[in-house]
Chain A
Amino acid sequence: MIEENIQRFDIRDYLRTHLFPHFMCPGCGHGIALRALLWAIHELGISKDKLAIISGIGCSGRTGAYIDAHTIHTTHGRPLAYATGLKLARPDLEVIVITGDGDCLAIGGNHLIHACRRNLNLTCLMLNNETYGMTGGQVSPTTSNDRFTTTTPLGNYEPVFDACALAIGAGASLVGREITMHVTALKDLMKEGISHQGFSFLEILSDCTEIYGRKNELGESAEMVLSQKANYRSDSYGNQVDEPFKPRDITTGILAKNDRVEYLDACHQHKMSKLQKAMNT
């Protein structure tokens, strides 16, 4: 059914249209993910003045620059660190981090686990296209086994990193995963993540069509989007994230959700209890 009662969503209201057409390759899944994000923001009614997008380096990092809101294009692997600082200084802003698989898991892995541990009210979108697309297609922590990249000419043999399992283990209070083919489900998941009080980590399985797809003969863009379905399992199949290294056997939906106390709340409570103690003595 087509949405009827909400105000019409025109994505151009949320874009810096003078920068278009964007730099991404034809059929790149990051564009679909960007639409889902802006659609979620539209449906949540978040004003562009209250929205801050922090992005790192890589193809995913560039997507942030196209959003007509407060955006910071930061250093490689550090968007979560910048976002933490921004959220502490301006808790009134809705801070969303757009990062990639290499950005978030390889060079920025430490920032990710500590952001999960602190549980600050941030939303981290990890656009996982399994490769470093911007620099020519090198192997990344999430590259599937036997895939060819410029640095693995005989196929990748390293174990594949399950980012969601890492985030759950590190204590993120909402962890989810979705594929770009399910745009509406992706939008709903993003809405859930943005409105969640606490750190929400969402892994979005995107396609690198021109570099990764071409090298591995995964077909044209439409075939790549369709093939996401082949590896997909709905969350009803089972939500267990029990093995850290899995083949591409994807569970989607919300994988973990808890009510761990949010960082700023915890900070406030701690301060009040110390003040109380000081008053009593």
Chain B
Amino acid sequence: MVAMSESNMINAQTDESLKEAPLQEITTNVLIVGVGGQGVIMLSKVLAALCQEQGFDVKQSEVHGMAKRGGSVFSHVRFGKKVFSPTIPQGNADILVALEWAEGLRWLSYLNPEKGVFIADTQRIVPPFACRDRRRYATSGYVQESVEEVINQVPNSSAMDAVAMAKELGVPKAANTILLGALSTTLDFEVDNWKSIIARFVPPKTVEANLMAFDTGREWIDNFDKQTQLENSVTAVTSPLEIWPVEQNQAVVEINAAWCKSCDICVKFCPERCLALDSQQIATLIKPEACTGCRVCERLCPDFAINIHTPAVN
């Protein structure tokens, strides 16, 4: 995912030649990604408004709406003396802010491979399509790369658990503002300017909480030490999904033939179609391996003939 295509490398080189120019001369590219409902658009609005106030030419473009809550959302913010194109070419983002872990990895190819700054939240929001196997402990299709792997590969990267930090502050929704605080350390704007813009964009009742979250993000980045992060994050990423093999956790379906009255409810309601009526018109399990232990049959059986035993979770 980190590997760059050839054309991107060329882009990166042209960028290199502009390195000496003052900030106002070159365009700074910030890419903010996440999923619907996290506050991606709000972050980019704050950033764009701030840059505009500072006299920069700003272009911002985003994809939202279709994503609904939980879908992929991204926003390009470009600012400089004069900005010509609203979107960031691949490999040219100076800063990539990811509000969700997999989204961050999805957009890594847009980050400038040498001097790009990667700020990520380790929060994992698993989309429904990543876990189509409905059995317990089935392996999910969610990204398997651990935090330390990515942090090691990407220079100038930092990963924080912003949601946990926001919860600690008592404002779980302000995780995006914490990341904004972290972002603010990489740009040359006054803290007071940042804060006045944030106060303008967040709901009036949450201004104080958001400013607190902003300071927390700044503080965290100042104290950030890659080595300690790597040591601490090891336990955080081991997912229970990978520990348990599916076979050992197969649900056991116990059917009491003497109580079954062949009403057919279990057969017709089973989402995996693993039950059927046998020659005696008694419900039987025909595909034991397909059973996910969802208990629909057990709960809708009017004769209490089905009992599902799922292994205890601990």
- Which segment, of A24-32, A147-155, A231-239, A265-273, faces chain B? A24-32
Q: Which residues of A contact B259 (CB under 8 A)?
A: 20-21
Q: Which residues of B contact A8 (CB under 8 A)?
A: 312
Q: Which residues of B contact A221 (CB under 8 A)?
A: 263-265, 302
Find the residue from A15, A21, A30, A181 having the highest chain B CB count within 10 A: A21
Q: Residues 9-34 of chain A: 1 if any B CB is under 8 Å from the residue's CB, otherwise 0?
A: 01110010000111011111111100
The residue of chain A having its C-beta at the shortest distance from the C-beta of B261 within the complex is: A26
B265 A222 Cβ-Cβ under 8 A: yes
Find the residue from A10, A25, A29, A221 having the highest chain B CB count within 10 A: A221
Q: Which residues of B contact A22 (CB under 8 A)?
A: 303
A220 at the interface (CB under 8 A from B): yes
B300 A2 Cβ-Cβ under 8 A: no
B310 A31 Cβ-Cβ under 8 A: no
CA distance A30 to B265 in the complex (A): 14
A24 B302 Cβ-Cβ under 8 A: yes
B295 at the interface (CB under 8 A from A): yes
Partner of B264 from A25, A32, A181, A222 at Cβ < 8 Å: A222
> How many interface contacts (CB-CB < 8 Å) are there between A and B?
72
The residue of chain B having its C-beta at the shortest distance from the C-beta of A38 within the complex is: B304
B307 A32 Cβ-Cβ under 8 A: no
Q: Which residues of A contact B301 (CB under 8 A)?
A: 31-32, 35
Q: How far is the CB of A15 from chain B (nearest CB, A)?
A: 7
Q: Which residues of A contact B294 (CB under 8 A)?
A: 2
A4 at the interface (CB under 8 A from B): yes
Known A4-B313, A27-B263: A10·B302 in contact at CB below 8 Å: no
Q: How far is the CB of B140 from chain A (nearest CB, A)?
A: 15
The residue of chain A having its C-beta at the shortest distance from the C-beta of B269 within the complex is: A222
User: Interface size bucket, A side?
Assistant: 20 to 34
Contacts of A27-70 to chain B: CB distance below 8 A = 27-32, 35
Q: Residues 93-136 of chain B: 1 if any A CB is under 8 Å from the residue's CB, otherwise 0?
A: 00000000000000000000000000000000000000000001
The residue of chain A having its C-beta at the shortest distance from the C-beta of B268 within the complex is: A222
A209 at the interface (CB under 8 A from B): yes
A205 at the interface (CB under 8 A from B): no
A225 B299 Cβ-Cβ under 8 A: no
Q: How far is the CB of B312 from chain A (nearest CB, A)?
A: 8
The residue of chain B having its C-beta at the shortest distance from the C-beta of A14 within the complex is: B304
CA distance A241 to B300 in the complex (A): 29
Partner of A209 from B263, B267, B299 at Cβ < 8 Å: B263
B268 A31 Cβ-Cβ under 8 A: no
Q: Which residues of A contact B263 (CB under 8 A)?
A: 26-27, 209, 220-222
A184 at the interface (CB under 8 A from B): yes
Q: Residues 241-265 of chain B: 1 if any A CB is under 8 Å from the residue's CB, otherwise 0?
A: 0000000000000000011011111
CA distance A209 to B303 in the complex (A): 14
Contacts of A231-264 to chain B: CB distance below 8 A = none
- B residues near A (Cβ < 8 Å) are 136, 258-259, 261-265, 267-269, 293-295, 299-305, 307, 310, 312-313
- A residues near B (Cβ < 8 Å) are 2, 4, 8, 10-12, 15, 20-22, 24-32, 35, 181, 183-184, 209, 220-223, 225-226
